[in-house]
Amino acid sequence: MGDTTQSLARSVLRRVFGRTTIGTLSIRWSDSTTDTIVGSKSGPQASISVADEKGMLRSLVKKGSVGLAESYFDGFWTTDDLATLLEVGAVNLDARSDALLSRTWVHRVRGIWDKRPKQLRSDAIHEMADHYNLGNEFYAMWLDPSMTYSSALYESPDEPLGTAQERKYDRLCQLLDLTEGDRVLEIGCGWGGFAEHAASRYGVHVTGLTLSTEHAKYARQRLAGAGLADRTEIKLQDFRDEKAMYDKVVSIEMIESVDETNWPPLFNAISRALPPGG
């Protein structure tokens, strides 16, 4: 299986990265052979060194492109310049996504994988926490200054990311119809960007829930530094364990991290936290 798995992993990566149209990507395999992919347009030049093709393949089958990112932190591959590699990935995003999704065998293997027994609650919690405990420095390399992980709301393609994230937060506050004094629960608070925006601009009290120790530490420090310690609370806990009542509840793209089998508990927790008509 060893040689077959290695060959399969290399075939996947060649397919995924082979459609690179901008810049150059060099891949050094564990046996010291290399592949260099040169796009038709000039752009950033990056390289990766693969230490474990099998591990990379498992991660890809399980989680697609997210799995590739996680496999970096598992030591399955390395790069001497992560920022430039991310730049190559960003400018070729559409091409890479199409290549990945077009691999019919990946769909077949993933279909088999999805029939596995679902995670226990404790396993899912640890996996989600590990994803966000990779280090704030890593996320700061490519997020906007507010450290917002969810999608932004743009008015134009050339608008700064930070401006689009601020607009997104403001739109959410308007949809929530926030009024001064409201008690707001945020399920999946990230680094505290929404909590800071809502508490400082709308005069509400925000309680944020997170499973990440890195998130909790960062959010508490930023909110205290912004003078909002009395109007915010960051809890390191699962949403199922929240018992308090709130006027409003918000959860920004956190559902993408929740297995479908846990959607009912999530919506039950939201319903439980709100009064009738909330």
pLDDT of residue 98: 45
Contact between 200 and 226 under an 8 Å Cβ cutoff? The reply is: yes
Contact between 93 and 142 under an 8 Å Cβ cutoff? The reply is: no
pLDDT of residue 113: 42
pLDDT of residue 5: 62
Options 3.40.50.150, 3.30.9.10, 3.40.50.360, 3.30.420.10; CATH of 161-273: 3.40.50.150
Q: Is the pTM of this model over 0.85?
A: no
Residue span(s) of the chain under CATH 3.40.50.150 come to: 161-273
Q: Tell me the torsion sign for CA atoms 15, 18, 21, 22.
A: positive
Cα separation, 27 vs 79, in Å, equals 10
Nearest to 53 by CA among 37, 68, 66, 38: 68
pLDDT of residue 27: 93
pLDDT of residue 170: 97
CA 248, distance to chain mean position in Å, is 24
Per-residue pLDDT of the chain (278 residues; tens, 9 = 90+): 456 667 766 776 777 777 788 999 999 988 899 999 999 999 999 999 999 888 887 787 677 777 878 889 899 999 999 889 888 888 887 554 444 444 443 444 444 344 444 444 555 545 554 545 456 777 777 788 999 989 999 999 889 999 999 999 999 999 999 999 999 999 999 999 999 999 999 999 999 999 988 899 999 999 999 999 999 999 999 999 999 999 999 999 988 878 788 899 999 999 999 998 77
Specify burial of residue 227 (Cβ count, 10 A radius: 0-12, 13-18, 19+): exposed
